[in-house]
Structure 1
Amino acid sequence: MLAGESAEGLRLADEVDVSRLPSRERQFTFTLELARCYVLRRDDAAVLVHLLDLEKLSPQDMVRSKLGTDMVLGLLDRVRPTYRRQVLGLAERLAVGRSAAHKPTWDTLPQRKSDCAPRWRAMMAEDGAPVMSTCLPRVGASVPIARRLVREALVDWDLPDLADAAELVVSELASNAVRHTRHWGLRLTILRLAGRGVRVAVTDKSRVLPVKVTSCAENVTGRGLALVDAVSQEWGTVRLSWGKRIWADGAAADVLADISPALEVRVFATPTAQIIYVLLVVALAAWLGVLIVGG
C-alpha cells in the first residue's frame, strides 16, 4: 500500500462503524489495516490507539499477528517519551521482545525523532474547506499536544488571533474526553470556516452527552462547557451511532464586528434576583401611575 492509497483508505474508513462488522475476525482485520495505514502516514499516536484497540478486541489474535507485533516493535524503536509507558505496557502484555524472529520490517520508514510526533492529516470538506484531523491516545498528555496542534494549524492558516480561544476550547473538550470516556483514543479535528472562522471538534466513542454545569462558589468541577460557551461563538454536540462529536466555532474580532448585534437580554445570577427585579419594575410602574393620575 502506498502513502496516497493509505490517505484514501483512511478517508473511507471514517465512514465505517467497526462494531457493525459481522464478525470479530473482520473487525480485527479492518482495525489492523487501519493501523497499517497510519504507519504509512507516520502517525505513531494513531498507530498506538489502534494497536490498543486490537489488544482489547482479541489479545490472542494480536499475539499471533506478525504484522501487529512488528508494529509494536516499531513503536518501541521510535515512539516519543510521552507515549513510551503505554507502548512498553503493550509490549509486555503481548510478550513482544527483541528476538530475531521479531525484527521490524519498517526499514524504509524514517527513524528521526521528529517523525514520531503526532501530526495533522490534511483533508478537505465537501465544500472545499480545509480540514486538519489527527488521532490521539486518551491520556492526559494528549491535552497539551492538542493545544499545540491547534495553535500550529491556526498560525499556518494566518489566524493567530484565534489561537488563545481555540486552545482553551480544545483543552476543555480533550480533557472532558480523557476524564469521562473509556475508549483508548479520541479524534481532534479543526475546520476552516468561511471568512476568518474555525470549528474545533473532539470526537470520542462515548455516547454520554455532556452537560453544562452552572458555575458557582460551591461547584469547582464541571465548568468546562461553561467556559467553552463563554469563549466560542457557537457550540454543539453531534450524536453518532458509536459515540459523539463536540464542536465549537470561533471567529476573528473583525468578523464578529460585522455581525449585527442581537437584542440585549438581561441575565440574572439567580431566579430570586430575577423576581426581585420584576417586583421593582412593577412597583416603579405603579408609582408612576399614581403620580400621573394624581397630577
Structure 2
Amino acid sequence: MTTPKELKPIKPRKVQTAKPRAKTARKPPVKKKTQTFSWKPVVIGALLVLLSPFYYGYVVSFFSASWQWVKNIGQNPHYRNYKSFGIDIPTRYKIHGIDVSYAQGKIDWPKVRAMEEDSVRISFAFIKATEGLLTVDPYFKRNWREAAKNGIRCGAYHFFRPYKDGLWQARFFLQNVNIESGDLPPVVDIERLDNVPPQEMRKQLKTFLKHVESKLKTKPIIYTGLSFYKDYLEGGFDEYPLWIAHYNKPELKAGKDTNWWFWQHSETAHITGINHTVDFNAFKGDSLQFEQMLIR
C-alpha cells in the first residue's frame, strides 16, 4: 500500500479588517448675520408727512368732498348748497350775478368781485336807478361807478309804476342813467298793478319800452315774477327778453317757448362786502351769448 503524501499545513488566510476612518473635525456652523429693523426712518418720514401742510390740505379736501357727496345723496345733482353764499344754486348755469338797491346799503365792490366758491362768482349786477317819476335811488351813482370799476358788467333798472305815465317814466329813467357800450340792456321792473286795470298797465308799459328802445336802439329787459308774467304779460311782450323771479326751485318752469334769459332764483344770498341779503341770479346762456346781449 502506498502511503499518502504528507499534506502541507494550510496557512490561515489573513483577514483584512477595515481600517477605521480618520475622524474629521467638524467646522462650527456659520452664524447668519441678522439685520435688526430700525423704526427711526419710518417714524421720521411719518412725522414729515403729518406735519406737512400739503398733507393736511389733501386730507381736508378729501373729507370735505366726501362729506359733500354724502350730504348730496338723494338730492338733485344740479341744485346744491353753496355754504359761503348761504343758498342753493342751480349748477347748470355758469354765469351768475346779483341785483342791488339802496336796501343793501354801502357795498364793498372789490370784496363782491373777489368772492368765489367752486367757480361761482359775481359776473354781473343789475342796479336800481329810478322809480316812478321822482325817485332816484340814493346809491345808484356809486354802485354804477364802483361795480363797473371792479370788472362787473352792469345793467340799470327802473321800478315801474303803472298808475303813472309810461312815456314820462321812460324819460325820467334815461335822464338819470348814462348807458354805454359794454353795459347790459336797461331793465323795467314790473311786478304790481298798483290798483290799475291790467290793460292800462300793459298800455303804459308798452309806451315805456318803445321809448327806451327808440333812444338806445336795443330792446329793454322786462323783470317780473313768474306768476305776474303768466297772469298779465304772457303773449303780449314776447319780443322782449325776460328776467323772471322764481325762488328756491331747481328749475325755472316758465315754458320752453318763454323768452327768458335771466332767472332770479333766490332773495336771501349772502355776499362778502354786502351787509344785507341779496337777490341772486343766473344767466341762461353761455359766455358768448352773454357778450352778444351787451350794448354795442
For this structure pair, what is the TM-score category when the shorter chain's length is used for normalisation?
A: under 0.3
- Bigger radius of gyration among the two: 2
Larger helix proportion of the pair = 1
TM-score by length of 2: 0.24
**Larger relative contact order, structure 1 or 2 (CA cutoff 8 Å, min sep 6):** 2
